[in-house]
Structure 1
Amino acid sequence: MMLYADDSKVIGPASTLEDTSQLQNDLDLLTVWAKSWLLTFNVSKCHVLHFGHKNINTTYSLYGQLLSPVFEECDLGVIVDNDLKFSTHAKKAAASVSSSLGLIKRTISSHSPKILSLLYKGLVQPRLETGMVLAFPIFQERC
């Protein structure tokens, strides 16, 4: 199990019935833990994303309610699909960048390189870089 701020994940192999039983057991233990800390999970926001060709795509439940399977999920701002591809994320980033560039073009009359550089670094570059370390790690500079 992984916890990050208000985000939780139960992760594990699912290529055998024993694997899937262990994952369901982990979900059950998670509900016990949550109840002991007076927390609840919103089951409608909980999903199952099956990875890999050996995954037997079992259904899982939380609080006795079935979790809905999905083919892609946004995790900490990065959209990933069940084939571990980031094409949807890249398309969304490109659309966001295009929108930002259009805004700059329509509203800024100055063509000063200093101003355009500041706008690019503040409005465009962060949208391009979000999640790209995960999506395309081979293109990152080495320290």
Structure 2
Amino acid sequence: MSGVPQESVLGPALFNIFVGDMDSGIKCTLSKFADNTKLCGVVNMLEGRDAIQRDLDRLERWARANRMKFNKAECKVLHLGWGNPKHNYRLGREWIESSLEKKNWGCWWMINHMSWQRALAAQKANCMLDCIKRNVTSGLREVILPLYSALMRPHLQYCIQLWGSQYKKDMDLLERVQRRATKVMRGLEHLSHKDRLRELG
């Protein structure tokens, strides 16, 4: 059986020790988080494709030697970047299915654009703001600012290094959420939009 035992402190720790040598001999980038494994590589020539396939073969041999199984139904190939040749890969004898999107640690990875992730971040932050407006009667900066920092900002900043805004329309979407938050605070009416955003830090 594979997986991390739930509701246990010792179980996941022992599992991490057990899979600690999984990346031995791997040439591409291997990311491990609990029982989740990601293999990443750059493919601009056939050598890159062959390197990824060799590492997949190594992982399959490691799993067999350690009597583990990869959940092949969960394994997906995500081809990122313009002009990607979209090679096929296999894990063991089974071909890995390609996907246009994949949710990874709460962030959506999508082919060639991350606008969906930005829209989702804005939507969650707006929901938090609506919750604050419904439940907090005070509009004082000293009250609203800590709530914004604790409840809204995490949604706007989570994994921003990955999906960070490249287009003005996406930046405007996120700034609209922040402007809404400044309108809840009393005493900022005389400030310009930029100065209001600065108040949020």
TM-score, L = length of structure 1:
0.80
Does 1:63 find its partner at 2:92? yes
Answering whether residue 129 of structure 2 is matched by residue 128 of structure 1, we say no
- Shift in Å at residue 16 of structure 1? 4.1
CA drift of 1:137 comes to 7.9
1:18 Cα offset (Å):
4.2
Change over 3 Å in CA distance of 1:127–1:52 after alignment to 2: closer
Conserved? CA contact 1:14–1:57, under 8 Å: no
Instruction: For residue 54 of structure 1, report the CA deviation from its aligned partner.
Output: 4.3
Trace 1:29-40 onto structure 2 (pairs within 5 A). Answer: 29-40=58-69
Partners in 2 of 1:110 and 1:63 — Cα distance? 61
Q: Give the 3 Å change call, closer, same or farther, for CA 134–18 of structure 1 in structure 2.
A: closer
Give the 3 Å change call, closer, same or farther, for CA 38–108 of structure 1 in structure 2.
Answer: farther
Which secondary structure does the structure 2 equivalent of 1:74 belong to? strand
Which whole-Å CA distance do the structure 2 matches of 1:86 and 1:121 have between them?
24
- Secondary structure in 1 matching 2:40: coil
Distance 1:96 1:130 in 2: 11
- Give me the whole-angstrom Cα distance separating, in 1, the residues matched to 2:161 and 2:92: 35
1:118 CA drift (Å): 1.6
Whole-angstrom distance in 2 between the partners of 1:16 and 1:136: 28
Q: Following TM superposition, by how much is the alpha carbon of 1:69 offset from its aligned partner in structure 2, in angstroms?
A: 0.9
Deviations 1:71-119 (A, max 9, x none): 1223333323222x32111011011111111111122222232221121
- Does the C-alpha gap of structure 1 residues 30 and 97 become closer, same or farther in structure 2, counting only changes over 3 Å? same
Structure with higher RCO (Cα < 8 A, 6+ apart): 1
1:3 corresponds to which residue? 31
Q: Partner of 2:70 in structure 1?
A: 41
Q: Do 1:13 and 1:55's aligned partners in 2 also have CA atoms closer than 8 Å?
A: no
TM-aligned CA deviation for residue 58 of structure 1: 2.0
Distance 1:54 1:111, change over 3 A: closer
**1:8-23 equivalent positions in 2, closer than 5 A:** 8-23=37-52
2:142 aligned with 1:114: yes
> What is the percent sequence identity of the aligned residues?
27
Q: Does 1:102 align with 2:102?
A: no
Structure exhibiting the larger radius of gyration computed from Cα positions:
2
Aligned to 2:119: 91
Structure 1 segments unaligned to the other structure (5+ residues) = none
Which residue identity lines up with residue 120 of structure 2 in the other structure? K
Amino acid at match of 2:137: S
